[in-house]
Chain A
Amino acid sequence: MAKHAAIIGVYSDPDILVEAADGARQKGWKNLDALTPYPIHGLDKALGIGASWVPWVTLVMGLSVPSSGSRSNTGCTSSSGP
């Protein structure tokens, strides 16, 4: 392993790809990735990719937008309103 900086492979079956990714990760390879035409179940875990941060961004935006929206609502109807 020490001789190689990187490895690359081509697979024609998703199950074999997941197996291979799992094997490579267990052998200590880091920064694994796979390019696939569609999402493959279990491949993210096999490659050692963590959970997506998209839900957290959604949560923060989801909480901030209604509060600014209600601020605009009360602003129009009470403080700035006629």
Chain B
Amino acid sequence: MSAPAMEEFLSRDIRLGQVTKDIIAPTERMPSNAWWLAFLASAGLLGVGVLVVFILLVRGQGIFGISHPYGWAFDITNFVFWIGIGHAGTLISAILFLLRQRWRTAINRSAEAMTIFAVMTAGIFPLLHTGRQWVAYWLVPLPNDRLLWVNFRSPLLWDVFAVSTYFTISLLFWYTGLVPDFATMRDKAKNFFRKKFYGALSLGWKGSMRDWNHYEKAYLLFAGMSTALVLSVHTVVSYDFATSIVPGWHTTIFPPYFVAGAIFSGFAMVVTLLVFMRTAFHLEHYITIRHMELMNKIILLTGMLVGYAYLTEFFIAWYSENPFERYVFVNRLTGPFSWAFYIMFFCNVAVPQVFWFKKMRTSIPVMFVISILVNVGMWFERFNIIVSSLHRDFLPSNWDNFVPTIYDFGWTIGAFGLFLTLFLLFVRIFPTVSIAEIKHTLPKPADTSKVGYHG
């Protein structure tokens, strides 16, 4: 894809001062009724999640449907799902930055915020699944009197490091980008409280060329580090499965397959949220249909990559002549969880094909429905990998059918509540589009002699 000129995205009529006004405006006015409605709904879902966690802490893991032989089910499905959601933000902010895809400028801030909230949501699942949550810090190799050391040969421990590194780098990257914008908000602040709040967040930013010099270098370095993380984090997550000997998990295709799936689901989530954000906050001039279309193209591409991975898995199961591997894949198609497989295949492989048509790629209602379906499909992909591989293990007398409990559903929707609540707070308090970067990439007015350019 050649890098299109910024003129195709942003109108020449936008002036610099207008950018600041437009982007700060949603944080200055009182929230709309729609925002309150959305906020109360997500806070309600979050409340359900908090209640489930409370019951979990009191009564223990037994409240969930997990049992022998499926020791993992909804918890790790949700973990992998949410970690995957985060990948779009990192890809947009890092890889597209290094590839000089300047269209990312309008969407990177909100996508990065999504990354951070998604990783926070994801982290809760393994943490609570440890069983004795009050000693979760044992996951870190601390010198101690217990003489209890972590096992560095376990991919579950690599996960601890991969996810915590991912979170740290994403947070710093996001915050670095926010500093100049916080300073702009501080300078535009209309009351004492806002001035102090954004002033503290802006770390004394003046916009001096010396600061910009450091800023640009730091941003570039963060982009380089994050680029590696886009590929490494979900690779390590896939090792949780791939390094085991469970048929259906023990496969070398998992790392690229998981990374493609993560980008796929992440972009779908970005589309879902931006459809609302751009309209609700009148940001259509900055987040244009062209932006949405390009994201839909990425969804189409990554959707076909995961489709290819699904088929390769079946091919290898047949080609390997391993009876256990073959059984697992026949079981996926015909067993008690085949419905999960068909939902996954329909949502992830069939549905995105609609995006071959430009009319569909540029239609807001169509992309909204597809982005939701893609995420339904991606949730079921993880469910399918985890539960359908585990429920029939090597010993047929062990076989059992997984039945989720009300608590499994409770903390699944609670996770959506947490993610959406954080995102709704973000759009109210922070600049949702990078003010400095938009100004940097804004096309010069056709007639530069106009004084209004500066705004």
Chain A residues near B (Cβ < 8 Å)? 12-13, 33-40, 43-44, 47, 49, 51-55, 58, 72-73, 75-77, 80-82
Contact = CB atoms under 8 A, between A and B. Distances in A.
**Interface of chain B, main secondary structure:** helix
Interface string B419-455: 0000000000000000111011000000010010110
Contacts of B437: 38
Interface of B: 16, 141, 143, 147, 149-153, 180, 184, 206-210, 212-218, 221, 435-437, 439-440, 448, 451, 453-454
| Best-surrounded residue of A52, A72, A80, A82 (most CB of chain B within 10 A) | A52
Given A37-B184, A38-B437, A77-B149, A47 B221 contact: no
Contacts of B141: 72-73, 75-76
A73 B215 CA distance: 33
Given A38-B440, A52-B217, 8 more contacts: A35-B207, A36-B207, A36-B209, A38-B439, A39-B209, A43-B209, A54-B218, A76-B149
Given A13-B448, A52-B217, A54-B217, A39 B152 contact: no
Contacts of A77: 149, 151-153
| Best-surrounded residue of A38, A51, A80 (most CB of chain B within 10 A) | A38
B208 A38 contact: no
Given A13-B454, A76-B141, A77-B152, A44 B209 contact: yes
Contacts of A13: 448, 453-454
A76 B448 CA distance: 64
Contacts of B221: 54-55, 58
A39 B143 CA distance: 46
A76 B152 contact: yes
Contacts of B16: 37
A34 B455 CA distance: 18
A13 B448 CA distance: 8
A31 B214 CA distance: 17
Contacts of B451: 12
Smallest CB-CB A-B distances: 7 pairs: A12-B454, A39-B212, A38-B440, A52-B217, A54-B217, A76-B149, A38-B439
| Best-surrounded residue of B150, B153, B213 (most CB of chain A within 10 A) | B213
A49 B209 contact: yes
A51 B207 CA distance: 17
A80 B143 contact: yes
B213 A34 contact: no
10 contacts: A33-B208, A35-B207, A38-B436, A39-B209, A49-B210, A55-B217, A73-B152, A76-B149, A76-B152, A77-B152
Nearest to A44: B213
Given A54-B221, A76-B149, A77-B149, A47 B209 contact: yes
Nearest to A10: B454
B90 to A, nearest CB: 18
B453 A12 contact: yes
Contact of A81 (B149, B209, B218): B149
A73 B440 CA distance: 44
